[in-house]
């Protein structure tokens, strides 16, 4: 049995979970999120113990893999609607900066033109200052995906370390030509 799949997901007091036709809807103080699970996995709510249980019908490789995944997705949904998810990015480089204009994130990162990224619905993107970007939301996948897309605009380069990086990310630096 999957160690992760066997663990029940605790339902907190502020969270409301509904299951209809394989679609799981989780609602909490931060928002609402829905996800459709695969038919190989059974999901049941135990109202007495206030927890969600995942079971699988078969013992084939696909079912075993989906068992842990389904439980992890439900847990991430519960955490997302109660606490929310956040990714912090920092911009390093002379003249590099970020700003928010309406529903667009504008990045000046050394290209001839300003790069504009449309902020997806369901995410809150803020710039506390010109060199930091904070992405927040209830969907862990969506927060991580948008943060990765912003970082991919100008990845940190190894010689001077300029670019967009996650806060606290260590960039391996290389010695230039003069070091030889």
H or E segment and range at residue 82 = helix 61-82
| Structure confidence at residue 121 (pLDDT) | 92
- Locate tokens 């969907």: which residue? 139
The span from the CA of 106 to the CA of 115, in Å, is 6
Its CATH architecture, for the domain 3-82, is: Alpha-Beta Complex (3.90)
Q: Could you give the 3-state DSSP secondary structure of residue 142?
A: helix
Segments of the chain assigned to CATH 3.90.930.12: 3-82, 85-177
pLDDT of residue 125: 96
Residue-wise pLDDT tens for the chain (180 aa)? 578 888 999 998 889 999 998 899 999 999 999 999 998 899 999 989 899 999 988 888 988 889 999 999 999 999 999 999 999 999 999 999 999 999 999 999 999 999 999 999 999 999 999 999 999 999 999 999 999 999 999 999 999 999 999 999 999 999 888 755
pTM: 0.90
Q: For domain 85-177, give its CATH number from 3.40.50.300, 3.40.50.1000, 3.90.930.12, 3.40.50.620.
A: 3.90.930.12
Q: Residue 1: its pLDDT value, please?
A: 52
Task: State the helix-helix crossing angle for 61-82 and 140-153, rounded to 10 degrees.
Answer: 90
In Å, the largest CA–CA distance within the chain is: 69
Pairing of strands 16-20, 23-27: antiparallel
159-to-92, 93, 122, 151, 175 alpha-carbon distances in Å: 13, 12, 36, 17, 7
């Amino acid at each position: 049995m999957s160690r992760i799949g066997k663990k029940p997901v605790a339902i907190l007091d502020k969270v409301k979970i509904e299951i209809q036709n394989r679609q799981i809807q989780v609602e909490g103080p931060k928002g609402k999120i829905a996800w459709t699970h695969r038919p190989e996995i059974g999901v049941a709510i135990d109202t007495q113990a206030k927890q969600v249980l995942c079971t699988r019908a078969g013992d084939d490789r696909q079912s075993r893999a989906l068992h842990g995944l389904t439980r992890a997705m439900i847990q991430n949904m519960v955490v997302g609607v109660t606490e929310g998810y956040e990714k912090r990015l920092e911009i390093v480089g002379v003249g590099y900066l970020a700003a928010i204009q309406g529903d667009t994130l504008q990045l000046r990162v050394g290209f001839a033109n300003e790069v504009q990224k449309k902020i997806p619905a369901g995410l809150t993107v803020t710039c506390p200052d010109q060199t930091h970007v904070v992405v927040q939301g209830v969907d862990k996948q969506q927060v991580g995906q948008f943060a990765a897309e912003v970082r991919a605009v100008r990845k940190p380069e190894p010689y001077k370390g300029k670019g967009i990086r996650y806060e606290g990310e260590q960039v391996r630096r290389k010695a230039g030509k003069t070091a030889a």
